Amino acid sequence: MISIRNISIKFNNEFILNDFSLDIPEKGAVCLFAPSGSGKTTILRLLCGLNQPTSGSVSGLEGKRLAVLFQENRLLPHLSALDNLKLVLSKERQAEAPVWLEKLGLGADAAKTPLQLSGGMNRRLAIARTLAYGGDIYLLDEPFQGLDEDTLRQTMKVVQDACKDSLLILVTHRREEAQALCDRIITLGQRPLQILSVEEIKK
């Protein structure tokens, strides 16, 4: 169990999280659902250690490998699609990179750089990098933005398959994505974030 206990985080004198607590199981798919701009990304940043709380604690992440997909693609513009994947993989696992590109429909674009790819393709490349890196916990922040209907369905399927034995924490403001991928939707209110409801999805 991952336990977020009495966390407070403040930016520019405004509380994003104030005495916030949340328990997340070790397996399954959990969605943090909230309107955009509410600060839900802060929870992901807290989990991957990029934001330090002013008070409170997080436990249950010790020894866990985290695979993070940021809201922005954060790809290296001068490296090819294939090399962007290889960059985050150890030497022994680099052979897996083309497989992930293929899975995300980018097999033919392996040699292209992000500047030569469309917005949707870059998003899929960022997803491929996260899935290729792999982990015990996948933290995906608005993963499907900019994808058209067809690629959205295929990409969701790949994500679902890749994360089935791990914990997936999805942050989104789109309900249909949450319902399609997750078995629990935690709806959060406006700043400072509070849990409004927890909904179990039956599949």
List residues near other proteins by CB under 8 A.
Answer: 48-50, 66, 68, 70, 72, 74, 76, 78-79, 83, 86-88, 94, 133
* Rounded least distance, CB 65 to other proteins, Å: 9
Cα angle value 117/169/11 (rounded, 5°): 85
* Rounded least distance, CB 83 to other proteins, Å: 6
**For the CA atoms of the chain, what is the radius of gyration?**
17
In the bound state with other proteins, the residue whose beta carbon lies nearer, of 83 and 199, is 83
In the bound state with other proteins, the residue whose beta carbon lies nearer, of 101 and 185, is 101
Q: Which tokens is 100 given? A: 């992930």
* Rounded least distance, CB 78 to other proteins, Å: 5
In the bound state with other proteins, the residue whose beta carbon lies nearer, of 87 and 195, is 87
Q: 140 phi and psi, to 5 degrees?
A: -115, 120
In the bound state with other proteins, the residue whose beta carbon lies nearer, of 87 and 158, is 87
In the bound state with other proteins, the residue whose beta carbon lies nearer, of 72 and 161, is 72
* Rounded least distance, CB 160 to other proteins, Å: 22
- In which residue are the tokens 């999280």 written? 17
* Rounded least distance, CB 113 to other proteins, Å: 10
In the bound state with other proteins, the residue whose beta carbon lies nearer, of 69 and 193, is 69
* Rounded least distance, CB 70 to other proteins, Å: 7
Instruction: Answer left, alpha or beta for residue 171, where phi above 0 means left and psi between -120 and 50 means alpha.
Output: beta
